[in-house]
Chains A and B, each alone.
Chain A
Amino acid sequence: MFAVTALLLLVSMALTLVRALRGPTMFDRILAMNMFGTATVLLISVVGFLNTARDLVDIAMIYALISFATTIAVLRFVEMDQARRSTEAES
Chain B
Amino acid sequence: MLFGMYSLVSASFFVVVDAADVAMTEAAVGAGVSTILMLSTLAATGYTVRKRPPRRELLAIVVAIAVGGALLYGTLDMPRFGAPNAPLHQHPVAHHYIQVSPKETGIPNMVTPLLASYRGYDTFGEVLVVFTAGIGVLALIGRRPRENGELAPEDGFVDHTATRHRVLRVVAKTLIPPILLYAWYIQAHGDYGPGGGFQAGVVLAAGMMLYLLIFGVDRTEKLVRPRTLECLIALGVLVYGGVGLVNMAQGGNFLDYRTLVHDEKHAIHYGILAVELGVGITVAAVMTTILFTFAGHLRNLLGTAYMANLSRRSNQGAQSA
Asked, given contacts A20-B2, A80-B298, A81-B43, whether A66 binds B305 with beta carbons under 8 Å apart, the answer is: no
Interface residue SS majority, chain B: helix
Query: Which residues of A in the span 70-91 have a Cβ within 8 Å of any Cβ on B?
Result: 70, 72-74, 76-77, 80-81, 83-84, 87-88, 90-91
B193 to chain A minimum Cβ distance, whole angstroms, is: 4
Contact of B12 among A40, A73, A76 (CB under 8 A): A40
Residues of chain B within 8 A (CB-CB) of A29 are 1
**CB atoms of B5 and A58 under 8 A apart:** no
**CB atoms of B15 and A59 under 8 A apart:** yes
Residues of chain A within 8 A (CB-CB) of B305 are 83-84, 87-88, 91
**CB atoms of B210 and A69 under 8 A apart:** yes
**CB atoms of B302 and A40 under 8 A apart:** no
**CB atoms of B309 and A37 under 8 A apart:** no
Smallest Cβ-Cβ distance to A16: which chain B residue: B5
Q: Does B203 contact A (CB under 8 A)?
A: yes
A11 to chain B minimum Cβ distance, whole angstroms, is: 14
**CB atoms of B20 and A69 under 8 A apart:** no
Contact of B39 among A20, A59, A77, A91 (CB under 8 A): A77
B12-32 vs A, Cβ < 8 Å mask (1 yes, 0 no): 100110101001100110011
**CB atoms of B32 and A76 under 8 A apart:** no
B30-54 vs A, Cβ < 8 Å mask (1 yes, 0 no): 0110011001101100100000000
Contact of A84 among B31, B210, B302 (CB under 8 A): B302
B101 to chain A minimum Cβ distance, whole angstroms, is: 18
**CB atoms of A56 and B4 under 8 A apart:** no
Q: Does B225 contact A (CB under 8 A)?
A: no
Which of B1, B209, B213, B302 has the most chain A CB atoms inside 10 A of its CB? B1
Asked, given contacts A55-B20, A66-B203, A69-B36, whether A36 binds B8 with beta carbons under 8 Å apart, the answer is: yes
> Considering the chains assembled together, what is the distance between the CA atoms of A16 and B272 in angstroms?
42
> Considering the chains assembled together, what is the distance between the CA atoms of A20 and B16 in angstroms?
24
Interface residue SS majority, chain A: helix
Residues of chain B within 8 A (CB-CB) of A36 are 5, 8
Residues of chain A within 8 A (CB-CB) of B194 are 55-56, 58-59
Residues of chain B within 8 A (CB-CB) of A37 are 4, 8, 31
**CB atoms of B302 and A80 under 8 A apart:** yes
Residues of chain B within 8 A (CB-CB) of A30 are 1
Q: Does B11 contact A (CB under 8 A)?
A: yes
**CB atoms of A70 and B32 under 8 A apart:** yes
> Considering the chains assembled together, what is the distance between the CA atoms of A68 and B176 in angstroms?
11
Q: Does B186 contact A (CB under 8 A)?
A: yes
Q: Does B115 contact A (CB under 8 A)?
A: no
> Considering the chains assembled together, what is the distance between the CA atoms of A37 and B46 in angstroms?
27
Residues of chain B within 8 A (CB-CB) of A87 are 305-306, 308-309
Residues of B bordering A, CB below 8 Å: 1-2, 4-5, 8, 11-12, 15-16, 18, 20, 23-24, 27-28, 31-32, 35-36, 39-40, 42-43, 46, 161, 168, 175, 178-179, 182, 186, 193-195, 199, 203, 206-207, 209-210, 213-214, 298, 301-302, 305-306, 308-309, 312-313
Given contacts A44-B11, A87-B308, A91-B308, 13 further A-B contacts (CB under 8 A): A40-B12, A47-B16, A51-B16, A56-B15, A69-B209, A70-B36, A72-B168, A72-B213, A73-B213, A77-B39, A83-B302, A84-B302, A90-B309
6 residue pairs A–B, Cβ–Cβ below 8 Å: A20-B5, A62-B203, A63-B27, A72-B168, A80-B298, A90-B312
Which 9 A-B pairs have CB atoms at the shortest separation, nearest pair first? Answer: A66-B32, A87-B305, A55-B193, A73-B36, A77-B39, A69-B210, A87-B309, A33-B1, A80-B43
